[in-house]
């Protein structure tokens, strides 16, 4: 039988792929597993959104093909959300500069199929969301991995990259507020990025799924706020995180008209757009985003505080993140992240993601998701402290 091609074979295993099986085995054995792995919020979707979905599925018209145009009302709601959310600094034509997505992941992965040529380079941050690497490599681009470093605030400075890379680069992926590092990007940084991409004629793919999940008064910007960004940039948004709708698979992308047209054509050959009823429900979410997201942010903030305080008490040197639904936690020198994650799960019943699962540059860290109650986060942090103690040569105290 013919084997998978070299592009597929070159991709690493997805960091979440084996974890559900291990978790299931341990639960079947009667273990109390605290799952801090996937960024899948335990809070329910807003009731108004659920009601809109229930009503929409009774309309036979909502069961027809949406194709790439989708539901015109969704495009209008998405454009309205952008204008409100970014204080009028982001305005897009809902027909020409916006496209509904089956969640943002597929659009991120599909874009390079319409952009890259053989020999082109894709600039990819690491650690990072695996869809950036996967989409670029499967489309035939050559990845240039840029390690995200704590001493550089986990930012990618385009102009600091080798000139030979910049000459061949077709696309760069950026994501702030960042998964997994939780780093945030100031607007002056985005201005530098846009300027560099315009000078080097590089497409900027900006992934912004956590822009509403911010704390302590921080307000995350849009790259489309930067003058001239529409010349080179396309920005992805999703309803998955802010509205607890991960399984609904609905999002949108906005920005450069030619890039929107490019992605639209690619998707025409791959899918027929998001379910129209989900787009109708998406309107209910986006039209009331400020009100509906506020309680989610409040709960996540309480969980963040509980997690950080208990992690610090357990011996981890971690600071409270300003955004996202994660905490990115450094490990003491000499402790490998995969080893720590394995001990944490198999000996102390806590599932975390090792930093190395997001690429080699993530080594030395692990990520937890704020997807369980503050009480469970506190208990999980205590268990993680016992795992750390065990790996540092302390007395092995397993499940208590």
Domain map of the chain by residue range? 6-44+291-391, 47-289
Q: Which of 46, 21, 49 is nearest to 33 (CA)?
A: 21
Distance CA 133, CA 151 (A): 24
DSSP secondary structure string, 64-108?
S--TTT--HHHHHHHHHHHHHHTTTS----TTTSEEEESSHHHHH
User: Is the pLDDT at 1 greater than 90, yes or no?
Assistant: no
User: Is the pLDDT at 63 greater than 60, yes or no?
Assistant: yes
Query: Which pLDDT score, from 0 to 100, does residue 221 have?
Result: 97
pLDDT digits 0-9 by tens, 203-219: 999 999 999 999 999 99
**Helix H or strand E encompassing 143:** strand 142-147
**Helix H or strand E encompassing 49:** helix 47-56
Provide mean pLDDT across the span 50-72: 95
Provide mean pLDDT across the span 298-317: 97
Asked whether the bond before 302 is cis by omega within 30 degrees of 0, the reply is no
- Of residues 294 and 5, the one with the higher pLDDT is 294
The second-level CATH assignment, the architecture, of 47-289 is: 3-Layer(aba) Sandwich (3.40)
Query: Which pLDDT score, from 0 to 100, does residue 301 have?
Result: 97
Provide mean pLDDT across the span 375-392: 95
Query: Which pLDDT score, from 0 to 100, does residue 10 have?
Result: 84
Q: How confident is the model at residue 394 (pLDDT cuts 50, 70, 90)?
A: low
pLDDT digits 0-9 by tens, 27-40: 888 888 899 988 88
SS3 136: helix
Query: Which pLDDT score, from 0 to 100, does residue 396 have?
Result: 47
Cβ-based neighbour number of residue 297 at 10 Å: 16
Query: Which pLDDT score, from 0 to 100, does residue 26 have?
Result: 83
Answer yes or no: are the C-beta atoms of 122 and 143 closer than 8 Å: yes
pLDDT digits 0-9 by tens, 163-184: 999 999 999 999 999 999 999 9
User: Is the pLDDT at 398 greater than 50, yes or no?
Assistant: no
Which residues, at least 6 apart from 56, have a Cβ–Cβ distance to it below 8 Å? Answer: 62, 276, 277, 278, 280, 281
Query: Which pLDDT score, from 0 to 100, does residue 400 have?
Result: 46
Provide mean pLDDT across the span 58-87: 96
Sheet containing strand 365-369, edge to edge, reads 326-330, 365-369, 353-354
Percentages helix, strand, coil for the chain, rounded to the nearest 5? Answer: 45, 15, 40
Cβ-based neighbour number of residue 375 at 10 Å: 10
Cα dihedral 280, 83, 255, 209 in deg (nearest 10): -70
Report the predicted TM-score, pTM, of the whole model to 2 decimal places.
0.93
pLDDT digits 0-9 by tens, 320-348: 999 999 999 999 999 999 899 989 998 99
Instruction: Specify the residue for token string 């760069």.
Output: 172
Answer yes or no: are the C-beta atoms of 191 and 197 closer than 8 Å: no
Q: Which of 220, 218, 180, 209 is nearest to 328 (CA)?
A: 180
**Helix H or strand E encompassing 351:** strand 350-351
For domain 6-44+291-391, the question of CATH label 3.30.1200.10 is answered with no
What Cα–Cα distance (Å) separates residue 194 from each residue in 86, 133, 200, 212, 216?
18, 21, 10, 22, 27
Provide mean pLDDT across the span 219-236: 97
User: Is the pLDDT at 16 greater than 80, yes or no?
Assistant: no
Q: Which of 147, 134, 153, 132 is nearest to 203 (CA)?
A: 132
Distance CA 322, CA 304 (A): 10
Mean residue pLDDT of the chain comes to: 93
Q: How confident is the model at residue 17 (pLDDT cuts 50, 70, 90)?
A: low
Distance CA 344, CA 365 (A): 14
Distance CA 300, CA 306 (A): 10
**Tokens of residue 282, six digits:** 């998406």
Distance CA 277, CA 284 (A): 11
């Amino acid at each position: 039988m013919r084997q998978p091609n070299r592009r597929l074979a070159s991709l690493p295993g997805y960091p979440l792929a084996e974890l559900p099986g291990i978790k299931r085995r341990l639960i079947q054995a009667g273990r109390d597993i605290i799952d801090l792995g996937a960024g899948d919020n335990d809070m329910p979707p807003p009731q108004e959104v659920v009601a809109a979905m229930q009503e929409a599925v009774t309309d036979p018209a909502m069961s027809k093909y949406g194709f790439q145009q989708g539901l015109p009302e969704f495009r209008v709601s998405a454009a309205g959300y952008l204008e409100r959310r970014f204080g009028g600094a982001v305005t897009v034509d809902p027909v020409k500069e916006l496209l509904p997505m089956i969640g943002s992941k597929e659009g991120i992965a599909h874009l390079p199929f319409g952009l890259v040529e053989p020999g082109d380079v894709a600039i990819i941050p690491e650690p990072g969301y695996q869809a950036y690497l996967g989409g670029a490599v499967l489309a035939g681009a050559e990845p240039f991995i840029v390690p995200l470093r704590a001493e550089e605030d986990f930012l990618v400075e385009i102009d600091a990259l080798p000139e030979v890379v910049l000459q061949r680069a077709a696309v760069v992926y950026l994501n702030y507020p960042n998964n997994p590092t939780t780093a945030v990007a100031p607007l002056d940084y985005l201005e530098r990025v846009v300027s560099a991409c315009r000078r080097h004629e590089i497409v900027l793919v900006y992934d912004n799924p956590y822009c509403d999940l911010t704390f302590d008064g921080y307000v995350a910007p849009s790259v489309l706020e930067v003058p001239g960004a529409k010349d080179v940039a396309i920005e992805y948004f999703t309803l998955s995180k802010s509205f607890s709708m991960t399984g609904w698979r609905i999002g949108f992308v906005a920005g450069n008209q030619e890039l929107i047209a490019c992605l639209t054509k690619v998707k025409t050959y791959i899918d027929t757009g998001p379910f129209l009823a989900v787009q109708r429900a998406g309107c209910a979410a986006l039209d009331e985003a400020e009100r509906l997201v506020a309680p989610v942010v409040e709960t996540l903030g309480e969980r963040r505080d509980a997690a950080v305080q208990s992690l610090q008490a357990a011996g981890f040197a971690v600071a409270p993140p300003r955004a996202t639904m994660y905490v990115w936690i450094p490990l003491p020198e000499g402790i490998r992240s995969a080893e720590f994650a394995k001990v944490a799960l198999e000996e102390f019943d806590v599932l975390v993601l090792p930093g190395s699962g997001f690429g080699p540059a993530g080594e030395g860290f692990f990520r937890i998701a704020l997807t369980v109650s503050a009480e469970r986060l506190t208990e999980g942090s205590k268990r993680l402290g016992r795992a750390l103690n065990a790996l540092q040569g302390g007395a092995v105290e397993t499940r208590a």
